[in-house]
Amino acid sequence: MRESTRVAGGRKPRRTVVSLVFALVFGVMGVVPPPALAEHLDYQIGEASDNDATRTVTLNMEVDAPFDGATFNISFTCDDGSSATNPSAGNGDTAIASDVAVGAVCTATQINPGVDWSVELPDDLTVTAAGPNEFTIKNTYSATRRVALNMEVDADAPFDGATFNISFTCDDGTDIVASGSVTVGDGDIAAINDVLVGWSCTATESNIPANWTVSYSPSQTITVTAAGPNVITIVNTYVPPPPAGQGCTPGYWKNHFDRWPANWSHYDAQFEAVYNYSLIEAIQLMGGGGKALARHAAAGLLNAFTGGVDYQLDSGTILAGGYAKDVLEFNNDLGCPLGGTSASPVPTPRQVDAAAEEAAAEEDTSVDDTAEGEHTEEEAALVIEVPEAESAEEEPTEESSAGRVVEPPVDEAPVEQETPADDAPGKSDNTWGKNKGKAKGNKGK
């Protein structure tokens, strides 16, 4: 406890003999002196007896929590000339003056209490012999601030008009001193008025709707300051639920030709008429614009025709060119449920053409397995009788054999198909060798 010391002042003159005479006179006459005179006589008699008719005066400092660490310049003066000061008195500190004459009147003052503080000065103190000779200055922080609750709604229509219930509490460190609730929407501001600096205020959103998240900035709880800003921003964000459906990307279909639906080629011509690319060409396209549209349309059509994919877009609308690229891309990215084999890339158009040509050559040069002397039903229908040659040695010429069935010589070997060079399209691709049968069938379709 900080104490001040008494500043020496004047002392009232001693009138010991006169006081004794008055006391004897009043005693003989049996008259009780007036209170003020009696106190004065006690003072003079006491001084005569102990040679010190003074008392100690104490000025106490009380500071209202939670600012009990603040300090102030306090002092008091007495009309006997005594005084005391404490330039940095905090809560519980004092300013003390000794040797203050009994009967002296003392007045307390505070210098520069500071902004936002209210000071309660005590009444003047008259020093008594019995005491206690104490009085108290009380400092109370009286400044209040406004706490704002700002609401922001992060959502597109039709959810940008949503409202939310916000409750708040403020406490002084010991008790909840303010509370309430408001309903606010995007851009609304709710104010908590008359909040003292140093209080803590908390905002809480209750009954958060489904698919919404809430965040607080700078935090859910703030401590109110004199400088501010004393603001809590509540942000509500709409998080749409996961979309329904499934879809495999163009990349999946490009690398899993073995998973293409068996009837994909039935729609190839119709697809190419709308998108300017065949399905095999479209799925391998790179780039944006019309290429991106064709690429995603091809993947969308394969998704729509493949069992096991819960695809949401209509195959007929895809074939008619009725969906924008972004719609197709979104649905193709919903997640592919297909596993499938390891990557089996789609053949390039060149590989497809080479395989088709190879298949056609194989058909043209295939060996007739019909037994010698026997004819197929088609050949039998063409057999006609012709006169025998005039000479057994004469062999029919190409012209003379017209209208006759010409059988190949018995010992004529079947024509073997010319083996494509190693660098022929499709021959260097081992993977394509597994799928050329499909391309063969598709070419005919």
Q: Which of 206, 238, 270 is the last residue of a domain?
A: 238
Distance in angstroms (rounded) separating the CA atoms of residues 271 and 252: 19
Residues 123 and 81 in one domain: yes
Reference 295, options 313, 310, 307, 278; nearest CA is 278
Decide if 202 is inside a domain: yes
Question: Residue 158, preceding bond cis, omega within 30 degrees?
Answer: yes
Q: State whether 48 and 113 are in the same domain.
A: yes
Are 154 and 136 in a shared domain? Answer: no
* Residue 173: inside a domain: yes
For residue 47, being part of any structural domain is answered with yes
Query: Would the CA dihedral through 326, 331, 335, 337 be positive or negative?
Result: negative
30 and 125 housed in the same domain: yes
For residue 207, the model assigns a pLDDT of 85
Alpha carbon 7 to chain centroid, angstroms = 66
Q: What is the pLDDT of residue 352?
A: 78
177-195: b (≥16 Cβ within 10 Å) or e? ebeeebebebebebebeeb
Choose among 149, 141, 128: nearest CA to 191: 149
The enclosing domain of 126 has a CATH number of 2.60.40
Same-domain pairing of 39 and 125: yes
- Residue 44: Cβ within 10 Å count: 22
Tens of pLDDT, residue by residue, the chain (445 residues): 444 444 444 444 444 444 554 555 555 555 555 655 555 555 455 444 444 589 999 999 998 766 667 889 999 999 999 999 999 888 899 999 999 999 999 999 998 777 778 899 999 999 999 989 999 999 887 778 899 999 999 887 677 788 899 999 999 888 998 899 999 988 889 889 888 888 899 999 988 888 889 999 999 999 998 888 999 999 999 888 877 899 999 999 999 998 999 889 899 999 999 999 999 999 999 999 999 999 999 999 999 998 889 999 999 999 999 999 999 999 999 999 988 777 788 888 888 777 777 877 877 665 455 444 444 444 443 343 434 444 344 444 443 333 333 344 444 444 444 433 333 333 333 333 333 333 333 333 3
Does residue 125 form part of some domain?
Answer: yes
The answer to whether residue 52 is domain-embedded is yes
Q: What is the DSSP letter of 207?
A: S
64 touches 25 (CB < 8 A): no
With a CB cutoff of 8 Å and minimum separation 6, the contacts of 167 are 179, 180, 181, 203, 204, 205, 206
| 159 and 137 in a common domain | no
In a domain, 374, yes or no: no
Domain final residue pick, 204, 238, 272 = 238
My answer on whether 24 and 47 are in the same domain is yes
Residue 115 identity (one-letter amino acid): V
Q: Are residues 81 and 122 in the same domain?
A: yes
Helices (H) and strands (E) counted in the chain, each on its own, are 11, 16
For residue 274, tell me if it sits in a domain. yes
Q: How far is CA 32 from CA 23, 36, 102, 154, 201, in A?
A: 10, 11, 21, 88, 65
Q: Judge if 20 and 122 occupy the same domain.
A: yes
CA distance linking residue 231 with residue 50, whole number of Å: 66
What CATH code is carried by the domain that includes residue 165?
Answer: 2.60.40.1140
192 CB-near residues (< 8 Å, 6+ apart): 146, 147, 148, 149, 168, 170, 178, 180, 201
Last residue of a domain, one of 141, 175, 193: 141
3-state DSSP percent of the chain in helix, strand and coil, to 5: 25, 25, 45
Q: Answer yes or no: do 215 and 255 share one domain.
A: no
Instruction: Please state, in angstroms and rounded to a whole number, the distance separating the CA atoms of residues 405 and 407.
Output: 6
Which residue type occupies 81?
A: G
* Res 41: pLDDT: 53
The reported pTM is 0.41
Using N-to-C axis directions, what is the helix angle for 325-332 and 290-305, rounded to 10°?
50
148 in the same domain as 90:
no
In a domain, 120, yes or no: yes
Measured between alpha carbons, how far is residue 60 from residues 1, 56, 103, 207 in Å? 10, 13, 20, 52
- Which positions ≥6 away from 66 have C-beta within 8 Å? 172, 173, 198
Using CA atoms, how far apart are residues 152 and 185, in angstroms rounded to an integer?
Answer: 7
Residues in the chain, total = 445
Q: Could you tell me the residue range of the domain that residue 80 belongs to?
A: 16-141
Same domain, 46 and 129: yes
Q: Report the number of distinct structural domains present in the chain.
A: 3
Q: Distance from first CA to last CA of the chain, Å, rounded?
A: 106
Contacts of 298 (CB under 8 A, 6+ apart): 250, 253, 271, 275, 277, 279, 282, 283
